[in-house]
Chain A
């Protein structure tokens, strides 16, 4: 099976702009989670989607949003970019057993630089 794919891999934006990142999960996986990784804050959970519904959200401002499509692909959007949004954004997919996702498998990440 192909792994989790993320596009684009690298992105440079300026403050105030918005950005959309895309994630395609492993075939058959219906849960997609997003994480932000920075040197200062480490890895932090953004949100998780399952069957086009956001089930859980981390402690991030409303500028961070996401969605999931019927084919399980997911996008996250960051509006009004700030310098502090510069980070590696990781997407992970999993196939829940019952109601809860178990092991998460990660994509290569999108590295966002805000100037």
Chain B
């Protein structure tokens, strides 16, 4: 069975600095998708970034980028120029290409220090 592990329950970073959140996963599949979602105190789950496993190029979305290491089954999220609005729970999620469900990590609480 696939699993997703986020080993950092909580991270803090100074405003305007860079922070990296870790995620590892376990799968025997070759085709899959990986996602980072953000859940602020409002509890709305917001898509941050997505990566297709067949793409070697790391995804980027403005200040957010990933380091996707397929062989190591690692999918970390880098947030540059951290802003107060980035404070939230961040969840890493995995989806098989042939399935409909997201498998989630336990989440990392990101604190931004002004």
A contact set with B: CB distance below 8 Å: 31, 33, 35, 42-45, 48, 50, 55-56, 58, 88, 90, 92, 99-109, 111
User: B53: which A residues are within 8 A, CB to CB?
Assistant: none
Which one of B10-18, B21-29, B42-50 is at the A interface?
A: B42-50
Q: Residue of A at shortest CB range from B33? A: A102
Whether the pair A106, B99 counts as a contact (CB closer than 8 A) is: no
Task: Give the B interface residue count (CB, 8 A).
Answer: 24
Instruction: Give Cα A105–Cα B38 distance, bound, in whole angstroms.
Output: 12
Whether the pair B44, A45 counts as a contact (CB closer than 8 A) is: no
A103 interface neighbour in B50, B98, B99, B104, Cβ under 8 Å = B50
User: B35: which A residues are within 8 A, CB to CB?
Assistant: 103
Which secondary structure dominates chain B's binding surface? Answer: loop
B45, B91, B105, B106 — most chain A CB neighbours (10 Å): B45
Instruction: Give Cα A45–Cα B46 distance, bound, in whole angstroms.
Output: 17
Instruction: Give Cα A23–Cα B101 distance, bound, in whole angstroms.
Output: 17
- The verdict on B100 contacting chain A, using a C-beta distance below 8 Å, is yes
Given contacts A33-B100, A56-B99, contact A106 B46 (CB under 8 A): yes
Whether the pair B91, A43 counts as a contact (CB closer than 8 A) is: yes
Q: Residue of B at shortest CB range from A44? A: B104
Instruction: Give Cα A58–Cα B35 distance, bound, in whole angstroms.
Output: 20
Q: Please give the distance in Å from B27's CB to the nearest CB on chain A.
A: 16
A90 interface neighbour in B45, B47, B98, B100, Cβ under 8 Å = B45
